Structure 1
Amino acid sequence: MELSDYIRILRKNWLVIVVTTLVGVAVAAGFSLTRTPQFEATSGVFVSTEGGSTITELQQGSNFTQARIATYVELVEEPFVLNPVITDLGLNMNADSLAGRVTASAQLDSTIVQITVTDADPARAALIANALGASLANAVETLETRDGQEVSPVKLTRVRDAQAPRTPVSPNVPLNLALGGLVGLALGVGIAVLRAVLDNKVRNPRDIENLTDRPLIGAIPFDPKAKERPLILEADPHNQRSEAFRALRTNLQFLEMDGGNIFVVTSSLPSEGKSTTTINLAVALADAGKRVALLDTDLRKPKVAEYLNIEGGAGLTDVLIGRARVADVMLPWGKRPLYVLPAGKVPPNPSELLGSKQMGQLLEALGNEFDVVLCDAPPLLPVTDAAVLSKFTAGALLIVAAGKTTTHQLSGALDALETVGSKVGGVVLTMLPTRGPDSYGYGYGYGYGGYGSYGTYGAPAEKPTRRGRKNAAAEPSDDQLLP
């Protein structure tokens, strides 16, 4: 992944990251508030040797003291030193418990033993630290006094009395909160990255680029009112979504499809915007002066007649079984060169009809008569209709819904077309969010086809052809289409 991908992941999962960070801070705060404050008090004991007046004797005494320091440090935590303190102060604990609260240390090349005591009571911590200093001095004097000697050559003197501390050393609330926040932040980022790794939805053009070398020819933004106004070019010609369909129209004209002008429009699964894309693309092409034939080849759940508000009782099914002629059921729509062939009645054998010889002859005739023929076909994965129909066309336009179609489903759709030898002309990404981290940069063109960067969606901006403009071709005659 590139840096932009990580930035998109963080933007997309910012709420998760914020929540985990706050939870980390809250846990750290709870931990800190439930801990008993602990205080530290430290006393210092100076170790020296007595006797000797020459430099050599003094040097030997110093070396002896340095050698003994480590031993005296260890001796502080021994019962021999601890038990007298417990007895004198009347502490309700044993030597092991007290040893867990005591830390003794000595700096390098130093003869001062520092005794630190940690306790919930600051006064008691100081009292124990001072008592340990005195007990250590007594213990060393006892141990270092040799037989026949009255005094020990080693003398320990308390040079620093422990004072009752005013502030606790633990819990360190600011440090705990900072650590909790960092742990929560790291956990949130980890969850965000993991979600991105496990996310198999197609969300941007790069996901499509990783699966196929076919160009992305369209990027249609999400419209929450798409069901209320499926024909956006009629409902709101200057809408951002309308401009996206005009850009798709422009890019479609640059596809290299071996001179073919018949396209089957399909998708992986239902509800990816296949029918609305086909209809709006047909209207956009007709607005540009192209003679367009729109066929509803979805013989299972036809939608074209419903969306265009035309009579769909008779149509493609009747033509294929010889019950009607194309000219009788193919209807002009609007004051533009757009002709619509509804699906007609739902047959029991749609795959057989779409793969029949009659269907091939019909498409060939329409391809000779019209500039562009668009076939709104069923999705590829549930049924084979679109794959069967695609063998009669120049190629397929594959609709992919951003954030809905998975990479596995898109791969399955591509494989289904490849199996029958159909060529994928291009991919159209629909339902793209217009805001947020997954939004697509509409104002900068597609970046794939190189078809211009002057308009809103990467194509030159054009005013839609008004209804009533005198460029509509005459309605095809009976002898121009198959009977």
Structure 2
Amino acid sequence: MRTPAARTLADYGVIVRRSWWLIIGTVAAALAGGFAYTSLSEEVYESTSSILVLPTASDTAVAGARTAGQVNLDTEAQLVKSTEVAAAAAEALGSDDPDGLVSRVSVTVPPNTAVLEIAYRAGDPKAAQAGAIAFSEAYLEHRRSGATASVDSAIAGATAALKGVKADIAAAEDELSQMYSGENGRSAIESELDGLRQDAEELEAQIAELDAQLGAISPGRVINQASVPGTPVSPNAMFNLAAALGLGLPLGLILAWARHRLARKVAYPTDLVERCELDVLASVPPAVKFQRREVFGAYSPGGRVFSQLRNVVASQLTHHQRVIVVAGVAPGPAASVVAANLATAMARAGDRVTAVAANPSTTVGLPELFGTDSVPGLADVWSGRVDLGVATHAAPRQPSLSVIGPGAAARAAGPTSEAAAETFSKLAEAGRFVVVDAPPLSCSADAQLLAGHADAVILAVQSGRDAIGETAAAALAMRQIDTPLLGAVLLPSGLGPMNTVPLPTARREAPAPGEVSQDETPTDSLEPVEDGAVERKALMNSQEATTQVMPVVPAAFPSAESR
């Protein structure tokens, strides 16, 4: 028996096939949501300008920075969205909401470059272009102002120092002009004056260099000017639909899996294997239609299924194992349909078979399916009113098949363990197989009692009707006895006319003297049948059986499908 751990890809395919409408519906709903989101979303355009950032005198390399070079581009990317740059861009755009403008800006640094890509988003193409240009120019002006301020500060410092040196030179020159040639100290002053003049020259050179730097400051330049975008970047219809599909498909599969695990009714053979721990002996496809209240023809699709079931059952039973109990899960025709068709398949294979109707709660009985009398039957045998031979009727179209109907007051006279054992023993001696249509396990324990005296048990399960919990409980009840549980036969949900109870006749003829009528009267309240009546009934049944068991050509009897 397979366990859930042995699940194959085909099992997952069954789950998908079982809830295909749920998966498709979920995916369709997700795609509809994606389409609605795309249709209702505001169009957003994006324009991008690229700036090559050049180093200035104020730039200093940062140790451990992500970008190499003198300029730290990560810092510069943050400066683009700074308050000062946003204020300048807002002034250029005529906006009074710098913070709102910053939320529309994104700055990226391409790998291994000294380039900043400034992107600006807006609801209008021209507004997107204007925003990208405004932020690019504001950033370059901010960077130029920073570099200029640094150089101006250096020039101011050098100019102040030069002014002081020139004052010292003037003082030294004045003091030197008041001294005589060769006077003590004159040489020292001359030496000091030469040093001051040299310092003045250095400061003047430094100021000249700073002035040159001031004129040559280049914080960067725009290498890709922002253009007017032709198509919006948002909403992206293909991306939204792909995202909706990527969300809807897994969600649909999850819902299908949840529906499979939470299903209460048996729907597929895998339900019997995984959740009821039952081997599936046969499964009648849903395409097989039950159009009449009769057994399948030998060469019909349903007939082939039960012929294969006969081979499976026969291979699992020894020659001394003959009694097979077919029990249903819930009240209905499932067990009767399986028992009748299995018995027919065995008879077609040449086995002597006796079909026993022990299920009074079915909507279609074995006598109706085989065209035999319901009375006298099993209840009459168990009550001691008739002999087993009298209750056995030959099937009209199957010479090797005999049928025992439910009998009179079948609902009132339940089986006893001794009666069931004796009946099965006699029937097993008379034929190769005995197929018993037992009552459903969900409302009676008679099937378990009958199975205790049988050689094998088969559960008849109807798809879409029998609950998984009840089926598992029925399997457990059968495993609690010593009789082997061979497995289950799964019937489709639609059994056509098999599910309906025939309407009662307008007139009920009075039973002939000595005959047993089919009613609901408890067996114990019935008067004993005279011995002479029983003998006459037995003689009549014997004569009818002799007439019906005449050799016939199989082709003379059309199959169920051909009719």
Listed one character per residue, the Cα deviations across residues 150-188 of structure 1 (whole Å, up to 9, x for unaligned) are: 848853354243222222222222222222222222222
Alignment match of 2:87 (pick from 83, 88, 97): 83
Identify the residue that residue 174 of structure 1 maps to in structure 2.
238
SS class of match (1:232) = coil
Listed one character per residue, the Cα deviations across residues 89-113 of structure 1 (whole Å, up to 9, x for unaligned) are: 322x512111101123444554443
Identify the residue that residue 28 of structure 2 maps to in structure 1.
22
Say whether residues 1:32 and 2:94 are aligned partners: no
Structure number with higher helix proportion: 2
Identify the residue that residue 373 of structure 2 maps to in structure 1.
311
Maintained 8 Å contact 2:61/2:70 = no
Letter in 2 for 1:73: A
Say whether residues 1:2 and 2:65 are aligned partners: no
Say whether residues 1:469 and 2:475 are aligned partners: no
Q: Indicate the RMSD between aligned Cα atoms, in angstroms.
A: 3.7
Change (3 A) 1:208 1:321: same
Identify the residue that residue 277 of structure 1 maps to in structure 2.
338
Letter in 2 for 1:27: G
Maintained 8 Å contact 2:11/2:270 = no
Tell me, in whole angstroms, the C-alpha distance in 2 between the residues paired with 1:195 and 1:126.
53
Tell me, in whole angstroms, the C-alpha distance in 1 between the residues paired with 2:68 and 2:459.
89
Identify the residue that residue 144 of structure 2 maps to in structure 1.
141
Change (3 A) 1:35 1:152: farther
Identify the residue that residue 229 of structure 2 maps to in structure 1.
165
Say whether residues 1:376 and 2:437 are aligned partners: yes
- Shift of residue 333 of structure 1? 2.1
Maintained 8 Å contact 2:324/2:458 = yes
Change (3 A) 1:281 1:159: closer
Tell me, in whole angstroms, the C-alpha distance in 2 between the residues paired with 1:284 and 1:140.
96
Tell me, in whole angstroms, the C-alpha distance in 1 between the residues paired with 2:552 and 2:68.
115
Listed one character per residue, the Cα deviations across residues 196-228 of structure 1 (whole Å, up to 9, x for unaligned) are: 3444655555555557898654443446642x4
Alignment match of 2:404 (pick from 331, 341, 352): 341
Change (3 A) 1:253 1:213: farther
Maintained 8 Å contact 2:51/2:116 = yes
Listed one character per residue, the Cα deviations across residues 273-317 of structure 1 (whole Å, up to 9, x for unaligned) are: 210221222233333343322221124457223333443243222
Say whether residues 1:194 and 2:281 are aligned partners: no
Tell me, in whole angstroms, the C-alpha distance in 2 between the residues paired with 1:87 and 1:219.
80
Change (3 A) 1:162 1:334: same
Identify the residue that residue 524 of structure 2 maps to in structure 1.
none
SS class of match (2:419) = helix
Identify the residue that residue 120 of structure 1 maps to in structure 2.
123
For structure 2, list consecutive stretches of 5 or more residues without a partner in the other structure.
1-6, 157-213, 495-547, 555-563
Maintained 8 Å contact 1:330/1:339 = yes
Tell me, in whole angstroms, the C-alpha distance in 2 between the residues paired with 1:395 and 1:431.
23
Greater C-alpha radius of gyration: 2
Maintained 8 Å contact 2:331/2:361 = no
Letter in 1 for 2:47: A
Mean Cα deviation higher: 381-390 or 98-107: 98-107
Say whether residues 1:332 and 2:336 are aligned partners: no
Say whether residues 1:412 and 2:465 are aligned partners: no
Say whether residues 1:255 and 2:316 are aligned partners: yes
Change (3 A) 1:387 1:81: same
TM-score (norm 1): 0.76
Change (3 A) 1:2 1:469: same
SS class of match (1:293) = strand
Maintained 8 Å contact 1:47/1:65 = no
Maintained 8 Å contact 2:288/2:301 = no
Change (3 A) 1:431 1:29: closer
Maintained 8 Å contact 2:355/2:434 = yes
Tell me, in whole angstroms, the C-alpha distance in 2 between the residues paired with 1:290 and 1:48.
101
For structure 1, list consecutive stretches of 5 or more residues without a partner in the other structure.
434-465, 473-483
Letter in 1 for 2:551: R
Tell me, in whole angstroms, the C-alpha distance in 1 between the residues paired with 2:34 and 2:232.
17
SS class of match (1:254) = helix
Tell me, in whole angstroms, the C-alpha distance in 2 between the residues paired with 1:390 and 1:210.
24
Change (3 A) 1:185 1:113: same
Say whether residues 1:184 and 2:255 are aligned partners: no
Say whether residues 1:104 and 2:107 are aligned partners: yes
Tell me, in whole angstroms, the C-alpha distance in 2 between the residues paired with 1:345 and 1:362.
17
Maintained 8 Å contact 2:288/2:302 = no
SS class of match (2:71) = helix
Listed one character per residue, the Cα deviations across residues 349-395 of structure 1 (whole Å, up to 9, x for unaligned) are: 54xx4124233323222222233222211011221011111222222
TM-score (norm 2): 0.66
Tell me, in whole angstroms, the C-alpha distance in 2 between the residues paired with 1:362 and 1:33.
77
Total equivalences in the alignment: 428
Letter in 2 for 1:371: R
Tell me, in whole angstroms, the C-alpha distance in 2 between the residues paired with 1:217 and 1:108.
66
Letter in 2 for 1:368: E
Tell me, in whole angstroms, the C-alpha distance in 2 between the residues paired with 1:296 and 1:247.
23
Identify the residue that residue 294 of structure 2 maps to in structure 1.
231
Alignment match of 1:320 (pick from 373, 382, 397): 382
Identify the residue that residue 307 of structure 2 maps to in structure 1.
246
Mean Cα deviation higher: 216-225 or 117-126: 216-225
Maintained 8 Å contact 1:257/1:394 = no
Alignment match of 2:451 (pick from 368, 390, 395): 390
Maintained 8 Å contact 2:280/2:487 = yes
Maintained 8 Å contact 1:76/1:136 = yes
Maintained 8 Å contact 1:282/1:338 = yes
Tell me, in whole angstroms, the C-alpha distance in 2 between the residues paired with 1:85 and 1:220.
77
Tell me, in whole angstroms, the C-alpha distance in 1 between the residues paired with 2:279 and 2:115.
79
Tell me, in whole angstroms, the C-alpha distance in 2 between the residues paired with 1:362 and 1:13.
47
Maintained 8 Å contact 1:300/1:346 = no
